[in-house]
């Protein structure tokens, strides 16, 4: 800008200090932008955490399904069953702390699994002497401030 | 330059900054620059964290989907210490191993077997699904090549497959006999 520019000429000695304010405002806006970017990064990381927990919990629930299918019927209906009868046993369910996996940070992820079974034998098939049990597993885990529950049910007949 | 066209003394006197103004400006610049550098470092840290989570967020769900479909179709299984033992006539193990032989019932009521195993690669390990052939080499396809290691184990009557990711993250899938 030329020294005799009208812009410079129009500024008084006091007004020249405004340049400092302009620079400060510009850098303040830059910092605000950086804060927004950081907020976006935080949201992305938290979203990743949610996906990680879903992946780990889905993987663990394959164990519940496999176990419910594999356990002998005598063990399933025994008094010491891992899946107590919801209507007859006391307590009507069992709760266990399980490990879902390990994160990249080395943190071990744990959750609570609650198991119980319900008698689903139809009333009109008594003459067939058939027993039908629905085996329930409820996995409860926390991601941040929210608590999530996932269930798997398996039908067993004898 | 024409005489009288430029008056340096009066120009500098009217437009220059005082020492106090410059000091204030430099202090503000330094504070804001430090804050920006710190935020940049934090952003890079976040990116590294996101990169570390890539195995569990992206690769593990795909592996889980494939393993569930494979294991749910299997009739029964045996765990072997090595791939060669599983494909050959080696004895199965009751401890953890690096291969599992899965038996499938065909529509013709025959029993076929396939081998799921972990093999070392240049960058880590690969989880591979082998179809035995009458003549070598066996056919295989890769379930995942982005794992560090894996182990197969039979516990409580069900098969567990524990995968260790590149950042030592750990996830276990289960399945087994129908």
Mean pLDDT, consecutive 10-residue segments, chain B of 178 residues?
50 68 82 82 84 90 93 91 88 89 89 92 91 76 92 91 94 84
What ranges make up the beta strands (E) of A11-157?
A: 94-102, 108-119, 132-143, 146-157
pLDDT digits (tens, 9 = 90+) for A132-149: 999 999 999 999 889 999
DSSP state of A90: S
Q: Which residues are CB-contacts of A148 (< 8 A; sequence separation ≥ 6)?
A: A53, A57, A140, A141, A142
Q: Phi and psi dihedrals of B55, rounded to 5?
A: -65, -50
- Would the CB atoms of A70 and B176 count as touching at under 8 Å? yes
Average pLDDT, chain B: 85
User: Exposed/middle/buried for B68, CB within 10 Å: 0-12, 13-18, 19+?
Assistant: middle
Reading the block at residue B135, the tokens are 């003549």
* Dist CA A42 CA B119 (whole Å): 37
Give contacts of A3 with chain B, Cβ < 8 Å. 6, 11, 15
> How far away is chain B from the Cα of A129, in angstroms, using its nearest Cα?
24
Peptide bond into B137 cis (omega under 30): yes
Residue B58: its H or E element:
none
pLDDT digits (tens, 9 = 90+) for B59-96: 999 999 999 999 988 999 999 999 989 988 888 888 88
Residue to mutate among B29, B53, B62, B149, with most A CBs inside 10 A, is: B53
A110 CB within 8 Å of a chain B CB: no
Residue to mutate among A102, A150, A152, with most B CBs inside 10 A, is: A102
Angle between helices A18-70 and B60-73 (to 10 degrees): 10
pLDDT digits (tens, 9 = 90+) for A70-101: 999 999 999 899 999 999 888 999 999 999 99
C-alpha distances (whole Å) from B26 to each of A16, A30, B31 are: 16, 16, 9
């Amino acid at each position: 800008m030329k020294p005799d520019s009208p812009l410079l000429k129009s500024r008084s000695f006091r007004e020249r200090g405004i340049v400092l304010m302009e620079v400060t405002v510009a850098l303040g806006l830059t910092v605000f932008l950086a804060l927004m970017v950081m907020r976006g990064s935080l949201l992305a990381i938290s979203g990743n955490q949610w996906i990680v927990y879903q992946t780990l919990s889905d993987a663990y629930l394959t164990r519940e399904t496999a176990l419910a299918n594999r356990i002998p019927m005598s063990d399933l209906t025994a008094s010491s069953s891992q899946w107590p009868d919801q209507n007859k046993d006391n307590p009507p369910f069992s709760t266990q702390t399980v490990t879902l996996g390990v994160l990249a940070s080395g943190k071990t992820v744990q959750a609570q699994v609650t198991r119980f079974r319900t008698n689903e034998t139809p009333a009109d098939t008594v003459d067939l002497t058939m027993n039908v049990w629905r085996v329930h597993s409820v996995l409860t885990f926390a991601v941040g401030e929210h608590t999530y529950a996932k269930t798997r049910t398996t039908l067993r007949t004898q | 330059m024409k005489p009288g066209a430029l008056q340096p003394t009066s120009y500098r006197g009217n437009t220059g900054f005082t020492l106090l103004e410059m000091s204030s400006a430099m202090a503000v610049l330094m504070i804001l620059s430090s804050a920006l550098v710190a935020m940049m470092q934090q952003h890079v840290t976040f990116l590294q964290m996101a990169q570390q989570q890539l195995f569990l967020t992206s690769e593990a769900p795909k592996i889980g989907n494939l393993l569930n479909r494979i294991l749910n179709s299997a009739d029964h299984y045996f765990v072997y210490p090595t791939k060669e033992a599983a494909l050959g006539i080696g004895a199965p193990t009751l401890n953890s191993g690096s291969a599992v032989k899965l038996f499938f019932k065909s529509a013709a009521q025959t029993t076929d077997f396939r081998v799921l195993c972990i093999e070392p690669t240049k960058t880590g390990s690969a989880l591979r699904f082998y179809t035995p052939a009458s003549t070598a080499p066996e056919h295989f396809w890769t379930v995942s090549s982005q794992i560090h290691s894996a182990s197969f184990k039979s516990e409580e009557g069900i098969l567990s497959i524990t995968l260790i990711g590149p950042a030592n993250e750990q996830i276990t899938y289960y399945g087994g006999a129908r």
